[in-house]
């Protein structure tokens, strides 16, 4: 029995393992000017679980409809569950995690949650290409980061009208990222690490040894609460060096919100991986192509 992965764009995937369909995040609807699958969350007709990395709209928007249409249960942070309850999902259809829990998704598949970090979204306006080296911004207080974040909001307010309408529709009243989580799925075919934003705690990542790692490649990487002094490609390679998986899949690297995101050139990441993690192969996914990732 093989384990496969369908990419829906941004950091959303359908993981199919041991007869289960598990959505990793649920952001399927896109801004009108963003290329993608052309699907909406309402097109998902089969799902057993939705496992959510963090509460921002580009991860969570759509989970309320997939849960309603399929009866899928949601696993996510307390903030994710709060937003989904407001959106009409019954509380007994959801499981709150904060890191440290292992949830049995079936007799054969389990998922363990771990605390993580969000990318330093406050440090940039439009995202940069993954080989651009970013330095500085160390040791800032919450208030100083917040002041920088206001500039990002001004940037988003300047997006074209149809994108702004999409943002307004997708906002579900989140109070920030809600605490980013990473997950490790244990399946009969092997283990899969899942991350939906470019941040981590080093002491947690270095003890995980997944067979395949899904690693976010967008924005300014966050290492133990501070922005990486280097490029996003170097950040991704550092994470893969800590995890040492056989295969790595990128997430969040498509142009999901033109004017803010960028269409990531994967070659610099490939080059850094060859240097930092030569034993790991990059598994290139197109949209919804049912790529076999295990065994
Ligand atoms: Zn986010």
CA of 176 to the centre of ligand 1 (A): 8
CA of 62 to the centre of ligand 1 (A): 15
CA of 11 to the centre of ligand 1 (A): 10
CA of 171 to the centre of ligand 1 (A): 12
In tens, the pLDDT along 12-42 reads 999 999 999 999 999 999 999 999 999 999 9
CA of 61 to the centre of ligand 1 (A): 12
CA of 55 to the centre of ligand 1 (A): 7
Lowest mean pLDDT among 156-170, 177-191, 214-228: 156-170
In tens, the pLDDT along 96-107 reads 999 999 999 999
pLDDT at 131: 86
pLDDT at 6: 98
CA of 256 to the centre of ligand 1 (A): 13
**pLDDT reading at 64 higher than 80:** yes
In tens, the pLDDT along 236-251 reads 999 999 999 999 999 9
CA of 295 to the centre of ligand 1 (A): 31
**Could you tell me whether strands 226-227 and 222-223 are parallel, antiparallel, or unpaired per DSSP bridges?**
antiparallel
Lowest mean pLDDT among 40-44, 126-130, 168-172: 126-130
- The pLDDT of 187-211, averaged and rounded, is 97
Contact yes or no for 160/29 (Cβ under 8 A): no
In tens, the pLDDT along 74-91 reads 999 999 999 999 999 999
pLDDT at 216: 97
For 91-119, b/e burial (b = at least 16 CB within 10 A) is eebbbbbebeeebebeeebebbbbbbbbb
CA of 59 to the centre of ligand 1 (A): 7
**pLDDT reading at 70 higher than 90:** yes
pLDDT at 38: 94
| pTM score, whole prediction | 0.96
CA of 10 to the centre of ligand 1 (A): 11
CA of 108 to the centre of ligand 1 (A): 30
pLDDT at 229: 95
| Contact residues for 33 (Cβ-Cβ < 8 A; gap 6+) | 160, 162, 163, 258
CA of 79 to the centre of ligand 1 (A): 13
């Amino acid at each position: 029995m093989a384990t496969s992965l369908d990419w829906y764009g941004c950091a959303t995937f359908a993981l199919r393992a041991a007869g289960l369909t598990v959505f990793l995040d649920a952001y399927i609807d896109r801004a009108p000017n963003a290329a993608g699958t052309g699907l909406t969350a309402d097109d998902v007709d089969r799902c057993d679980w939705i496992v959510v990395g963090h509460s921002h709209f580009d991860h969570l928007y759509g989970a309320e409809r997939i849960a309603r249409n399929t009866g899928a249960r949601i696993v996510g942070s307390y903030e994710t569950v709060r937003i989904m309850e407001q959106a009409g999902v019954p509380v007994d259809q959801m499981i709150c995690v904060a890191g440290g829990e292992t949830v049995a998704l079936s007799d054969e598949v389990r998922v363990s949650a771990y605390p993580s970090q969000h990318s330093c979204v406050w440090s940039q306006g439009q995202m940069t290409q993954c080989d651009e080296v970013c330095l500085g911004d160390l040791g800032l207080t919450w208030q100083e980061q917040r002041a920088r974040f206001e500039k990002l909001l001004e940037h988003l307010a300047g997006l074209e009208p149809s994108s702004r309408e999409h943002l307004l529709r997708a906002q579900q009243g989140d109070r920030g990222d809600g605490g980013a989580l990473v997950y490790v799925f244990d399946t009969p075919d092997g283990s899969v690490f899942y991350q939906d934003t470019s941040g981590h705690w080093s002491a947690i990542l270095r003890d995980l040894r997944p067979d395949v790692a899904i690693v976010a490649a967008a924005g300014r990487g966050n290492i133990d609460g501070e922005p990486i002094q280097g490029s996003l490609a170097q950040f991704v390679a550092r994470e893969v060096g800590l995890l040492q998986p056989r295969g790595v899949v990128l997430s969040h690297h498509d142009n999901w919100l033109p004017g803010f995101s960028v269409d990531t050139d994967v070659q610099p990441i490939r080059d850094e991986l060859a240097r930092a993690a030569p034993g790991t192969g990059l598994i290139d996914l197109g949209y919804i192509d049912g790529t076999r990732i295990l065994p």
